[in-house]
Amino acid sequence: MPIRSFEQLAPRIHPTAYVDETALVIGDVEIGQDSSIWPMSVVRGDIQSIRIGARTSIQDGTIIHVTHDSRFCPGGQPTVIGNSVTVGHKVILHACTIEDFCLIGMGAIVMDKAVVQSRVTIGAGSVVPPGKVLESGFLYVGSPIRQVRPLTERELEFLEYSAQNYQRLKDRYRALTAPAEATRDPASIKPEASPVAPPVAPKPRTRRSTTQKRS
C-alpha cells in the first residue's frame, strides 16, 4: 500500500496530486496541488512532518525524511519543500528546507537544517552540509557544495518550465491510473501558498523511553 498512516498521523494529499503505486508515503505528510511522487520514492513523515507544496515533482528513487526530537535536536526538524520544485532521481532530502522554483540534481544530498533559497540549481551528486544556506539565484555544485555562478536568464526560465513539464506528465499518468487512496483534506492545504513562507517551526514529538521499569 503506497499511502500509510503512522500511529495517529495520516498523509493528506491534494486530489490533483499523483502518487505512483510503487512509491511510499507515510505519516504526517502534506502534498499540494498538482504535485507528483514518482516510482520507488519514499516520503516518511513519522517522527516529524513533511510538507510539499504545489506543482512539485519528487522523482524516482528519492528519499525524504526528517529528524526526531532529542537533546541533539530539540523539537526535531521537519522537511519543507516549496512550490514548483523539481527534485531529481535518487535525491536524499533530510530535515531541510527547499524554497520555490528550485532544481535539485540527480543523486544530490541535502542535510539537516540546510536551507535552499528560491530559484537555485544544485548539480547532480552534490552534497549540501547540515545548516548550509544556499543563496537565491545561483548554481551550486560539489561535495561539499560550493557556489559556482549566477543562473542565466535561460536557466531561470527552465526552473519554471521543468515544473510545468512534470505537471503535464503527471496528468498523463493520472489519466491512465486510478487515484491513490489516502486521507485527503484539500481545505487544509493552501495550494498556492509556499510552505516555506513563513518558516515552519518544528513540532515537538514525544520520545519514548527505552529504559524498562524495574519491578
Q: Structural domain boundaries of the chain?
A: 3-188
Helix (H) or strand (E) segment spanning residue 4: strand 3-4
Q: Please tell me the predicted confidence (pLDDT) of residue 204.
A: 52
In this predicted structure, the answer to whether residue 10 has a pLDDT above a threshold of 60 is yes
Please tell me the pTM assigned to this model: 0.84
124-173 pLDDT, tens digit per residue, is: 999 999 999 999 999 999 999 999 999 999 999 999 999 999 999 999 99
Percent of the chain with pLDDT over 70: 82
- Pairing type for strands 138-141 and 12-13 reads unpaired
| CB-based contacts of 134, cutoff 8 Å, min separation 6 | 114, 115, 116, 117, 120, 122, 128, 140, 145, 147
* Confidence category of residue 196, pLDDT binned at 50, 70, 90: low
Contact 19, 31 (CB under 8 A): yes
Nearest-angstrom CA–CA distance, 212 and 205: 20
Per CATH, the number for 3-188 is 2.160.10.10
* Confidence category of residue 177, pLDDT binned at 50, 70, 90: confident
What beta strand segments (E) does 5-156 contain? 12-13, 18-19, 24-31, 36-37, 42-52, 57-58, 63-65, 79-81, 86-87, 92-94, 97-98, 103-104, 109-110, 115-116, 121-122, 127-128, 133-134, 138-141, 146-150
In this predicted structure, the answer to whether residue 48 has a pLDDT above a threshold of 60 is yes
